[in-house]
Amino acid sequence: MGENPSFSFWNAQWQEKFCERVRHIRANPQVDYWDKRARDFSAMRKSNGYDYGRKVYGALRSVLDAEASMLDIGAGPGSFVIPFAEHIKFVTAVEPSHEMANLLRGNAAEAGIDNYALIEEIMQDLPIGGELDAAFDLVTVSLVFWMYEDVWPLISQMEAYSSKYCAIIAEIPDHKNPRSASCCDVEEFQILYNMLISQGRFANVSVVDYRCERSVEDELQYRKLAYEQYAGDLTPAAQEKLRREVLAEARDGLCTVATRSAVIWWDRRDIVS
Ligand SMILES: C[S@@+](CC[C@H](N)C(=O)[O-])C[C@H]1O[C@@H](n2cnc3c(N)ncnc32)[C@H](O)[C@@H]1O
């Protein structure tokens, strides 16, 4: 890639931001963190009827029809599987966390969805050059790439599995909202978009606003896990501080989660070289 200075610049930006984030936290999350987060994450996505996935479907529906197939990498508790499977033929989910995968199965059953399959692996362990190649009309990845330092090989892998469209859904840090603008935020959307352009992928972007309410207990559970993962030991004093913060923010026993994400999508048949 050395011969493409624009790509080298944006790739270096990504790696710099990644290393800066990792320097400020205790540890980058691995699959065991998502096992612990599965319960509160699933409750959050379900609390408003999978509104996040429905909005992302809304941004992509013009390129999908009832016969379409999709691969969703890092599927979580079914955030996309459930709303997309209601409209398209088949969804294949890749989800390495056993707890997330169990919740996905339960959530799909509850929603009456059975036109899906689940692969319990990290994407890096999936084969390239096999039966997944060009097997899907759309390949999506939502809120996963921020955990990885070397992102271009993962984007190339998405493209290998798609015959038509790819979509990356990335959070846009909101620096006015302290709940989402922590030192952990990567400027994921801006860098990925520029990286794609530098490689001849002239991507479309739609912005999706997400808002849900969740119980004080679920918010506290999330904050405790995030504190242990990113900040330090969960001492009684730290727990008490988190509880006070959450109670101060809650209204009528509920906490609001508000985020903004970019749906960055492109047609892999239209790459300008
Ligand atoms: C923040 S959650 C996002 C879930 C879902 N995509 C959403 O937007 O609601 C990240 C998910 O990615 C999964 N994940 C982490 N690393 C992964 C990898 N290398 N390959 C596939 N999935 C991964 C985690 O287990 C977790 O369920």
Domain CATH number, residue 81: 3.40.50.150
Domain assignment of residue 49, yes or no: yes
Residues 24-69: tens digit of each pLDDT: 898 888 899 999 999 999 999 999 999 999 999 999 999 999 999 9
Structural domain boundaries, residue 21: 5-210+259-267
- Give pLDDT, residue 83: 98
Ligand 1 center to 34 CA (angstroms): 8
Domain assignment of residue 239, yes or no: no
Domain assignment of residue 167, yes or no: yes
Please give the tally of structural domains in the chain: 1
Domain assignment of residue 272, yes or no: no
Give helix 188-198 / helix 152-161 axis angle, nearest 10°.
70
- Give pLDDT, residue 90: 98
Domain assignment of residue 86, yes or no: yes
| Phi/psi of residue 223, nearest 5 degrees | -65, -35
- Give pLDDT, residue 181: 42
Pick out the chain residues at pLDDT < 70.
1-2, 176-186
Domain assignment of residue 81, yes or no: yes
Domain assignment of residue 205, yes or no: yes
Ligand 1 neighbours, Cβ below 6 Å, are 31, 34, 45, 73-76, 79, 94-97, 100, 122-124, 142-144, 147
Domain assignment of residue 57, yes or no: yes
- Give pLDDT, residue 58: 98
Give the closest residue (by CA) to ligand 1 atom 18.
122
Q: Which atom of ligand 1 is nearest to the CA of 35?
A: 25
Q: What is the DSSP letter of 199?
A: T
Give the closest residue (by CA) to ligand 1 atom 11.
74
List, in order, residues 6 or more apart from 189 with CB less than 8 Å away: 170, 171, 172, 261, 262, 264
CA distance linking residue 25 with residue 209, whole number of Å: 27
CA distance linking residue 262 with residue 253, whole number of Å: 30
Ligand 1 center to 123 CA (angstroms): 10
- Give pLDDT, residue 174: 72
